[in-house]
Amino acid sequence: MSDEQNASPARNFSLLFGGLILLAVILLILANSVASTVGPTEREMKLKKAEVKVRLQPIGKVNTNPNAKVAVASSSSKSKSGGAPETGKQVYHAVCSTCHGSGMLGSPKFGSQTQWTPHAQKGLKTLFDHAIHGFKKMPARGGSTTLSDKEVENGVVYMLKQAKVYTLAKKSE
Ligand code: HEC
């Protein structure tokens, strides 16, 4: 009897202990299942990775768009309206060379001192005037209406200098 009485608290204790372990195991399983539903899903992880990728991107990027370059080039060549006037060389190659390069329509040929001398003898002012307003088969401004007076004059000076008759034209004024 006393044995039973003594054994009883010990059995109760082991029962209680066993119960506690069981409870702990159940709680662990429960916690695990809760954790798996609370944690980020695979889709969320992918989104997070994408976010990180965006954040890791460099601030500036080199512009490889060819159109961007074209825009810059065209704005810098707009010197006809506004910006610095084109040089005589530029004007000659853009407009005057069409005729004067080959002597077309009987125009004094580029670089020919012989052909330019009779023209140079008229004097610089007359040549400027004829180049700007036209003279016989020589169209006003070489047909390029966007050229300013200064640009046409630059073209005249360039051609006269290349034919070595510029000083002659200046003297003849
Ligand atoms: C469509 C063809 C043509 C173009 C383009 C042209 N010229 Fe001429 N130019 C002529 C001809 C033709 C003559 C000869 C005119 C004459 O004396 O009979 C001439 C003559 C001249 C003369 C001499 C004029 C004179 O009184 O003797 C000058 C200066 C001249 N051109 C400047 C220019 C300049 C500057 C340009 C470019 C802005 C230019 N030309 C573009 C055809 C052209």
Q: Give the CATH number of the domain where residue 139 resides.
A: 1.10.760.10
3-state SS class at 148: coil
Lookup: tokens for 75: 């704005």
Domain count for the chain: 2
Determine the pLDDT at residue 7.
Answer: 61
d(CA 173, CA 169): 7
Check whether residue 48 and residue 94 sit in a common domain.
no
- Cβ pair 91, 132 in contact under 8 A: no
Check whether residue 97 and residue 160 sit in a common domain.
yes
Average pLDDT, stretch 30-59?
76
d(CA 168, CA 173): 9
pLDDT confidence bin for 167, thresholds 50/70/90: very high
Check whether residue 94 and residue 153 sit in a common domain.
yes
Q: Is 152 in the pocket of ligand 1 (CB under 6 A)?
A: yes
Check whether residue 101 and residue 159 sit in a common domain.
yes
Q: Kindly give the distance from the C-alpha atom of residue 70 to the centroid of ligand 1, in angstroms, as a whole number.
A: 32
Determine the pLDDT at residue 140.
Answer: 97
Check whether residue 93 and residue 165 sit in a common domain.
yes
Check whether residue 27 and residue 98 sit in a common domain.
no
Check whether residue 51 and residue 90 sit in a common domain.
no
Does residue 71 lie within any of the structural domains?
A: no
The ligand 1 atom at the shortest distance from the C-alpha of residue 127 is 29
Total length of the chain:
173
Check whether residue 48 and residue 102 sit in a common domain.
no
- Cβ pair 91, 147 in contact under 8 A: yes
Range of the domain at 38: 2-56
Q: Kindly give the distance from the C-alpha atom of residue 139 to the centroid of ligand 1, in angstroms, as a whole number.
A: 7
- Cβ pair 86, 154 in contact under 8 A: yes
Residue 108 DSSP class: P
The ligand 1 atom at the shortest distance from the C-alpha of residue 105 is 12
Dihedral sign from CA coordinates of 143, 145, 147, 153: positive
Check whether residue 101 and residue 157 sit in a common domain.
yes
List CB contacts of 88: < 8 A, sequence separation 6 or more.
154, 155, 156, 157, 158, 159, 161
Does residue 162 lie within any of the structural domains?
A: yes
- Select the more confidently predicted residue: 62 or 171: 171
Does residue 142 lie within any of the structural domains?
A: yes
- Cβ pair 123, 169 in contact under 8 A: yes
Determine the pLDDT at residue 165.
Answer: 98
Q: Kindly give the distance from the C-alpha atom of residue 1 to the centroid of ligand 1, in angstroms, as a whole number.
A: 141
59 phi and psi angles, rounded to 5 deg: -70, -50
The residue contributing the CA closest to ligand 1 atom 14 is 107
Check whether residue 52 and residue 90 sit in a common domain.
no
Q: Is 168 in the pocket of ligand 1 (CB under 6 A)?
A: no
Q: Is 94 in the pocket of ligand 1 (CB under 6 A)?
A: no
